[in-house]
């Protein structure tokens, strides 16, 4: 085992110890509800999305019932999530594809999820991993920040970060590591003012090694 592999293993072991019950914060009851929630979660908190979908899903929790809404009507439901115009268009486009191309059911294959209009790599990865138990690691802002700070990745884009994480993390842990990194980003490794002093990963962290005060 190389030094990098040994370091990665220690980091992942500590993350698993810290967040053994890490799970998605988005609330959903079906793959379709998860798909819609993930689309809404772009640059929006999961808490806000859950408040919106609690109301939206009462009458519009299938692609068929979602398509009964006009874009303007859907926008009124999701306005508080931000970027509501684009998100409404993506939800309706994906819903139309699900009905017309996949018999009304969200496809379980990763390549088919990516064929849905308005569904990108991150959304496909989340739905594939969470709804269908597939091996995928979605890179959101928390995963991108924390993995690059820790040294699990050294990349300047989410796409490159995903590729490097797939090399650094065993395939069977991809989905779990996604949630571990999110939890750590929310609770400790904040974008602004990360709580490095109280972080149990600081001795393994490249970011802390570069930014920690040096003894004189």
Q: Which residues are catalytically annotated?
A: 122, 140
What DSSP state is assigned to residue 102? S
What DSSP state is assigned to residue 214? P
Q: CA-CA distance, 107 to 101, in Å (whole number)?
A: 9
Long-range contacts for 175-178 (Cβ within 8 Å, ≥24 apart)?
175/129, 175/130, 175/133, 175/134, 175/135, 175/136, 175/137, 176/16, 176/22, 177/12, 177/15, 177/137, 178/125, 178/126, 178/129, 178/136, 178/137, 178/138, 178/143
Longest distance between any two alpha carbons in the chain, whole Å:
68
For tokens 């993930």, the residue is 38
| Pair 121, 142: CB distance under 8 Å | no
Q: CA-CA distance, 172 to 115, in Å (whole number)?
A: 25
Q: How many CA atoms lie within 13 A of 12 on its CB side?
A: 21
């Amino acid at each position: 085992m190389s030094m990098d592999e040994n370091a990665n293993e220690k980091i992942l072991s500590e993350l698993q110890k810290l967040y053994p019950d890490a799970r998605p914060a988005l609330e959903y009851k079906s793959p379709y509800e998860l798909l819609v929630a993930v689309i809404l979660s772009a640059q929006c908190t999961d808490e806000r999305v859950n408040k919106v979908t609690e109301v939206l899903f009462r009458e519009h929790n299938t692609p068929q019932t979602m398509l009964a809404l006009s874009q303007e009507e859907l926008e009124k439901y999701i306005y508080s999530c931000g970027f509501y115009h684009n998100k409404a268009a993506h939800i309706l486009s994906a819903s139309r594809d699900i009905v017309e191309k996949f018999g009304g059911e969200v496809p379980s294959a990763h390549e088919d999820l990516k064929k849905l209009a308005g569904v990108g790599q991150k959304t496909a990865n989340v739905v594939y991993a969470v709804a269908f138990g597939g091996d995928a690691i979605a890179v959101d802002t928390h995963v991108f920040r924390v993995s690059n700070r820790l040294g699990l990745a050294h990349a300047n884009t989410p796409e490159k970060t995903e590729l490097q994480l797939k090399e650094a993390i065993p395939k069977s842990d991809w989905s779990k590591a996604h949630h571990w990194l999110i939890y750590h980003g929310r609770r400790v490794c904040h974008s602004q003012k990360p709580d490095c002093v109280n972080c149990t990963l600081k001795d393994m962290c490249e970011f802390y090694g570069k930014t920690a005060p040096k003894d004189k």
